Structure 1
């Protein structure tokens, strides 16, 4: 594995996370470490990737991490250290796992929904970054990719309710910018990535919440293809410290 490019993807068993996992596995010399919430999700991921044509010297490893409540960085690191995976470094950390609760107007957002959204969408990515930072430091070009959303943009706030989901993604964006600014000397490439409005379970849920007629406009394939182009071409100078969309356009914070 030492010569492979190593990707860590959270929420790798469905939607965009699954699409990223499948697409990356097709590349040669690539190791994908996908986190899932439980054993049922792990079984699902194995089944979904069984027919994937795996590139030469590439492989998939699955780790169970339930981010619905905070996991201490030391515990996460211990799980990696004690796993059967020979992890020597991580090149790209993609924090994709997220939760979407009712997308209500601000007047109706509950404290419970805020806690749930912040726990999974903002706190978990930060703690995972803290846990895997020693591994990222061993990469020649480390990347921290926070899968966010235009719904979390303050400057270009969408014209429909974002509920606690939007607030949590705005917090994720702030933390990502802080990570970028505080790791310049390390050469870390840290940015948020808006994958588009995609035909996933969360995407369909949002469409129903907003009374949108029909399916979300983007397929998983379109989103993943564009997102990987952003990831593959990301540099400290051009990408880090920004919120990028899957099509390479910058979204205002």
Structure 2
């Protein structure tokens, strides 16, 4: 792994990030935190000392007692707004948002994908993170170096062939990368550090048992991005600590 991340065209050198060794005193909000990547990222952030607010859609989803449990369906703006209020009222600050909640959508091509799958996938994977940011960015901007980490996918890369099924999932992740570039352009000069990340093909319920990466490996780079100090690189798409083309 190179010490200085570069994008795949080598047209731009990205400076090494300055990392927090500890997240003591910081507050993190992780969506889809009951299982898979979200749960592992939340566990990593807790291990680093962060006060973790874990968002799940159901009260039946079990999370560790040491985490704060929030009931949040990311398709519901009111639930997200209530969660942001609860975080502020409980912790008085917010430092990290991880937009992890997502679904896979339909398997076929666009012509065969159902309208219900299209609506549900876009609502969860793209509209949801937009609503989360709408309600949490004001809190993140209260302290220099607030971070948004958007869990995206290589399937959303505009620089690669987009054939092969999963149309709405692909488009939703391309849109999520667009949200990253928007947040960076709009709020980067105010100190917000926004990045997208591809965790790779991970053995989660969505990725399936044939995937080539463990959950721990998939969660490593998202966790690393959560450790970025003020002044670190922002507005990029990452995998394995290196910058990808959009």
Q: Which residue of 2 aligns with 1:249?
A: 242
The CA distance in 2 between the partners of 1:235 and 1:251, in whole Å, is 22
Deviations 1:90-134 (A, max 9, x none): 111000000112222233233322211110000011111111122
1:76 to partner: Cα distance? 2.7
Which position in structure 1 is the counterpart of 2:10?
A: none
TM superposition shift of 1:137? 1.4
Unaligned residue ranges in structure 1 (runs of 5+): 51-58, 205-213
Alpha-carbon separation, structure 2, partners of 1:8 and 1:157: 33
* Paired position in structure 1 for 2:76: 70
Query: Aligned residue for 1:210?
Result: none
Report the Cα distance in structure 2 between the residues aligned to 1:71 and 1:82, rounded to whole angstroms.
14
Q: Gapped runs of 5+ residues in structure 2?
A: 1-23
186, 191, 195: which is aligned to 1:191?
Answer: 195
Is 1:231 the counterpart of 2:226? The answer is yes
Alpha-carbon shift at residue 135 of structure 1 (Å): 1.3
TM-score by length of 2: 0.82
The 1:237/1:26 distance shift into structure 2, 3 A limit, reads closer
Task: Identify the residue that residue 40 of structure 1 maps to in structure 2.
Answer: 60
Distance 1:61 1:130 in 2: 21
CA contact (8 A) 2:201 2:207 kept: yes
Alignment: residue pair count: 224
Query: 1:101 and 2:119 equivalent?
Result: no
Higher relative contact order (CA 8 A, sep 6+): 2
- Out of 86, 90, 100, the position equivalent to 2:90 is 86
Structure 1 stretches (4+) deviating beyond 6 angstroms?
Answer: none
How far off its partner does 1:82 sit? 4.7
Q: Which moved more, 1:219-228 or 1:229-238?
A: 229-238
Question: Where does residue 20 of structure 1 map in the other structure?
Answer: 41
How far apart, CA to CA, are the structure 2 residues paired with 1:148 and 1:198? 13
